[in-house]
Structure 1
Amino acid sequence: MKGLRFMLDNAASKEKINNIKCFILDMDGTIYLGNELFDCTLPFLDKVKDSGREFYFFTNNSSKSRNAYIEKLRAMGIEISPDQMMISTHVILRFLAKNHPGKTVYVVGTPSLLKEFEEGGAKMVEDDPDIVVLGFDTTLNYEKLEKACRFIRHGSIFYGINPDWNCPVENGEFIPDCGSIAKLIQASTGVEAQFFGKPSRHTLDYIIEKTGYKADQIAIVGDRLYTDIAVADKSDVSSILVLTGESSMEDLEESDVKPDMIFDSLEDIRKLLV
């Protein structure tokens, strides 16, 4: 398994990295953990800009709004435009507008998520919805779960925003994420959610459309095999696994999804950029 890792003196990895024009960066576990920015993040971002490339952030975490993430990054010393901050919530909002115009939606989520849906033009209701949308709800309670399950049993479509099992936090700990909550609802209703964040094709199409780059000019960088890496699987988009978050080399041995490149952190990528 050690041979899978691209080393810094590997000419093939250096050539592959330097053909990339746009980096799509995951957040939790990739550029920071919780509220602690990795030491390698700012030097990496500076190198990307200095080399004439672009970077965007994409987070599956649907518990916060885009503005909240922009403010969080600003507090960490990272200034970006709104266009550089992509969230899984906007992927499903685009899908709903295109495929379910005028349909009513019951959203299980944080106040920030509900505000994003409101600003995105979704027709939200508290009873008898056409669609139930589940986000990463850190304000989850039993009443929300009961209502979602009841609506789904009565025929509402069930969509989940992001399929992550866990969200990494400080000190190497994890908290249950949207995918875990969705399994609870599935166990009760027998209905499986369709997801829209990474690794869905909806997300890959969204990234290509929003950045304007060709697929083979884009690299997705993240710490999770089943979301960050899987979203680029069977496409021309490159995938880069960093070992600063959830997935480990041991996980890689058991996974059917394999990254194009593996590095300990963003620092190893920075050293290859020219």
Structure 2
Amino acid sequence: MFEKIKCFILDMDGTIYLGNELFPFTKDFLKKVEETGREYYFFTNNSSKSQQAYIEKLDKLGIPIQKEQMMISSHVIIKYLKDHYDGKSIYVVGTPSLIQEFQYFDMNLVEEDPDIVVLGFDTTLTYEKLEKACHYIRNGCVYFGINPDWNCPMEGGKFIPDCGSMAKLIEASTGKFPDFFGKPSKYTLNYIIQETGYQPEEIAIVGDRLYTDIAVADQSDVTSILVLSGESTRKDVEASDVKPDVILEDLSEITKML
């Protein structure tokens, strides 16, 4: 099954770790990927943190990586904006880390009269930000969202409202719902294919969420692998229209097959 796979795109929380605890099988899997001449990348939908923050977290967990191995949803939309709206002014609803990520790529950020509103997973959300975003959107600004997740999982089985839920709040006020760029959008799939340089049939996306990790590969030649070490269960698969190509307990089962 894995003979044709040359590249693994790995979700993070629920796939390689849970909270701040690395799964005991993760390092063995990554080592086996390298030993068999394959590559691995990480991709997170969480748009509240910077690429560097995730690189540092992985390093603390004993997984040093190259910068290009850490993919984040905010980079997908930044690339799209550069390709299609270069130079246009942007109002970003997001954390300081997200703002810094946009600034790093020299995006034209403004606080007043933007051409585009971008909604991220903003754990520093204020009423003032919402008021401004809704005003701009209501008056005709182009409007995009970064990641469609309804909730962000926290340690201890808790959840906090994520970007998708914030978009629903704005929709209630403006009647507008954004086009999203993180998993499971085709923007993300195209970004992964372009950035890795592999053909779709050579890529496997591994994750624990059906509606993001698995759905991003739906109706493509990319192999989708659902691991049951995080959010989704076999019952969820039965009830879902999105079906993974493969269901495994965790990464250790892939290690045995490589």
TM over 0.5: yes
CA distance in 2 between counterparts of 1:251 and 1:175 reads: 21
Gaps of 5+ in 1: 1-15
Shift of 1:142: 1.4
CA distance in 1 between counterparts of 2:239 and 2:125 reads: 32
What is the RMSD computed on CA atoms of the aligned residues? 1.0
1:116-135 to structure 2, matched below 5 A, reads 116-135=101-120
> Contact between 1:29 and 1:168, CA under 8 Å: does it hold in 2?
no
Shift of 1:198: 0.8
After superposition, give the CA deviation of every residue in 1:175-211 in whole Å (9 maximum; x if it has no partner): 2111111111111110011000111111111111111
CA distance in 1 between counterparts of 2:68 and 2:251 reads: 22
Quote the residue 1:112 is aligned against. 97
Structure 1 residue aligned with 2:208, among 223, 228, 231?
223
Quote the residue 1:33 is aligned against. 18
Shift of 1:17: 2.2
CA distance in 1 between counterparts of 2:257 and 2:184 reads: 27
- List, as ranges, runs of 4+ consecutive aligned residues in structure 1 with deviation greater than 2 Å: none
- Which residue type is aligned with residue 47 of structure 1? K
Structure 1 residue aligned with 2:135, among 133, 140, 150?
150
Residues 1:237 and 2:222 aligned together: yes
Residues 1:23 and 2:8 aligned together: yes
SS at match of 1:209: helix
Which deviates more from structure 2 when the two are superposed, residues 28-37 or residues 209-218? Answer: 28-37
Shift of 1:172: 2.1
Gaps of 5+ in 2: none
Quote the residue 1:81 is aligned against. 66
1:165-176 to structure 2, matched below 5 A, reads 165-176=150-161
Structure 1 residue aligned with 2:54, among 69, 75, 96?
69
Residues 1:164 and 2:149 aligned together: yes
* Count, aligned residues: 258
Residues 1:52 and 2:22 aligned together: no
Residues 1:189 and 2:174 aligned together: yes
CA distance in 2 between counterparts of 1:167 and 1:248 reads: 17
SS at match of 1:221: strand
> Contact between 1:159 and 1:193, CA under 8 Å: does it hold in 2?
yes
- Which residue type is aligned with residue 37 of structure 1? L
- Which residue type is aligned with residue 119 of structure 2? L
User: Please, what TM-score do these two structures have when normalized by structure 2?
Assistant: 0.98
- Which residue type is aligned with residue 239 of structure 1? S
